[in-house]
Chains A and B, each alone.
Chain A
Amino acid sequence: MSKLPEDLKYTKSHEWVRTLADGTLEIGITDHAQHALGDLVFVEVPEAGRSVKAGEACAVVESVKAASDVYAPISGEVTAGNARLAQEPEAVNTDAYGAGWLWRLRPESGAVAAAALLSAADYQQVLDAEGG
């Protein structure tokens, strides 16, 4: 498995979070998660303006085999869904930490601290414990 980007934060449920220059967050699923899902053929992302709560299912990624929910790691208001994935769901497979981002979010006050996100090293331990 490839090395985890150090500049991202992670969740135990295999999402990643990137802090953008304007303070909004970009969220996707990890390379481990896309690999476990297999070839993605359909991705549904939340629309801008939607308010999401941490732990809420807010995107769906479907491989040939199965549909899986992606949970919001942090509460806030969606500022954008990645529209490109409607035509190119495979971008999540080929570039999980880049072009395959799922949605962007303006976090609620205090929501980032409450989320208790993992560092790359801590997430690596989660993967090691799973045998990944």
Chain B
Amino acid sequence: MPLAEAAKYVAAAYGAVLLVFVAYLAVTGRRIGRLRRDLHALDEEVSRRERDA
């Protein structure tokens, strides 16, 4: 296979690896963000209960 054509396949393979990992990190970032929001909400509720007690 000519070098130019092979290079396209190699670039596609490594590009796909990069893309999938970036997508995974983005999804993981969103999961952590959601957990942080939940934590914040819980923390506020605990503070409110402490004030009310």
The finding on whether chains A and B are genuine partners in a shared complex, rather than unrelated, reads no
Which B residues lie at the A interface, using CB under 8 A? Answer: none
